[in-house]
Structure 1
Amino acid sequence: MRVLVLSDNHGRIGEMQRAYEKVKPEMVLHLGDSQMGFQQLQAFFDCEVIGVKGNCDYDMDLPKTTEVSLGRHKVFMTHGHLYDVRFDLQTLADAAKEMGCDVALFGHTHVPENRTVGSVTICNPGSIAQPRQDGHQYTYMVIDVDNEGELHYKHMHL
């Protein structure tokens, strides 16, 4: 199974569409700040879409956090602003663990990231439209779930 992970497109559709066409996923996880209605967001993808609300998603009827099972792993999804992710990832790791998750996905910082905090793998796809890392490349993430249910993470550039 191939999963496309997006965050922080801030209403920009073209970049999101290009990533989708390039990856051809079976599922899309959006980590907030789409600044679109969820039905509008779903209409762009011909697969299952799971999303959370970001700090710039004012009128969206989405949860602030959710969990999804991928392979043998339980994944905690959030935008990240509620967990002070700009300063420390321990609070996010603790929240994920409290929910029984061993993976946490977040956005908000617009910077791609992949690290382990305690026993929790923490990933940020970066921003598909407003990158803030050195080089300022538009980024997203692909998670491939292998036949044994293990997850393989890869940051991609448009």
Structure 2
Amino acid sequence: MKLMFISDVHGSAYYMEESIKQFEKEKCDYLISLGDLLYHGPRNDLPKEYAPKKVAAMLNAFKDKIISVRGNCDSEVDQMMLEFPILSEYTHLFIDGHRFFLTHGHHYHKEALPPLSKNDVLVYGHYHVPLAQKTGDIFILNPSSVSLPKEGTNSFGIYENHIFTIKTFDGEVVASIDLRGEDGN
């Protein structure tokens, strides 16, 4: 199974379109959203081509391929625009013997861990900074923001065959980690 992870689109039609192109190019099975899909939030500048209605339409076209959690900028009004659920604070995926704990990152993150077991994987967004590391017995991943990165460039994550890779839209690998315990960097 191949998964694409995005976070913090913040209503950017430009970067949502770029994300969909990568999703199709990578031939992913599911698109995982770590929240903050439509609204830019009061602390953020408007992202490139801010068009939440257009982003909602693009996402709805893939509604059967999206697994999403709620970001701190997502609301019930956003849910009314989207044809797939986004209001869960977190969810779990069980893939290749790994338990992935998916959340936005404003409650659970590397400094405030949820209850995790050995070799579990915490995946979150919110901070707009890429991260792929093993800390103690767990893996901590953040694909960064597709539209408003704070460090480096706009990026997303790809998971396949135990490998989590953070990539730019130009195909540059920002970070990679083998979830079997072997660092891919």
TM-score range (shorter-chain normalised) is 0.7 to 0.9
Structure 1 residues 21, 116: CA separation in 2 closer, same or farther (over 3 Å shift)?
A: same
Partner of 1:141: 157
Structure 1 residues 10, 74: CA separation in 2 closer, same or farther (over 3 Å shift)?
A: same
Structure 1 residues 75, 44: CA separation in 2 closer, same or farther (over 3 Å shift)?
A: same
AA matched with 1:141: G
Higher alpha-carbon deviation: 58-67 or 108-117: 58-67
Does the CA contact (< 8 Å) of 2:9 and 2:36 recur in 1?
yes
Structure-2 separation of matches of 1:116 and 1:18:
30
Q: Is 2:116 aligned against 1:97?
A: yes
Higher alpha-carbon deviation: 41-50 or 15-24: 41-50
Structure-1 separation of matches of 2:134 and 2:10:
28
Of residues 30, 33, 45, the one that matches 1:30 is 33
Of residues 93, 98, 101, the one that matches 1:68 is 93
Deviations 1:76-107 (A, max 9, x none): 00000013x4xxx1422xx1416x87001000
Structure-2 separation of matches of 1:19 and 1:104:
23
Structure 1 residues 46, 26: CA separation in 2 closer, same or farther (over 3 Å shift)?
A: farther
Q: CA deviation at 1:71?
A: 1.2
Q: CA deviation at 1:45?
A: 2.7
Identity %: 29
Of residues 100, 121, 144, the one that matches 2:139 is 121
Partner of 1:51: 68
Deviations 1:87-132 (A, max 9, x none): xx1422xx1416x870010000111100112211010001111111
Matched positions, count: 144
Name the SS for the 2:158 alignment partner. Answer: strand
Does the CA contact (< 8 Å) of 2:90 and 2:103 recur in 1?
yes
Q: CA deviation at 1:2?
A: 1.0
Q: Is 2:150 aligned against 1:132?
A: yes
Does the CA contact (< 8 Å) of 2:119 and 2:137 recur in 1?
no
Runs of 4+ in 1 over 3 A off after TM superposition: 39-42
TM-score, normalization by structure 1: 0.80
Structure-2 separation of matches of 1:70 and 1:53:
21
Larger Rg: 2
Deviations 1:26-45 (A, max 9, x none): 111110001269x8565243
Unaligned runs of 5+ in 2: 39-51, 80-85, 170-185
Structure 1 residues 47, 71: CA separation in 2 closer, same or farther (over 3 Å shift)?
A: farther
Partner of 1:106: 124
Structure-1 separation of matches of 2:119 and 2:92:
8
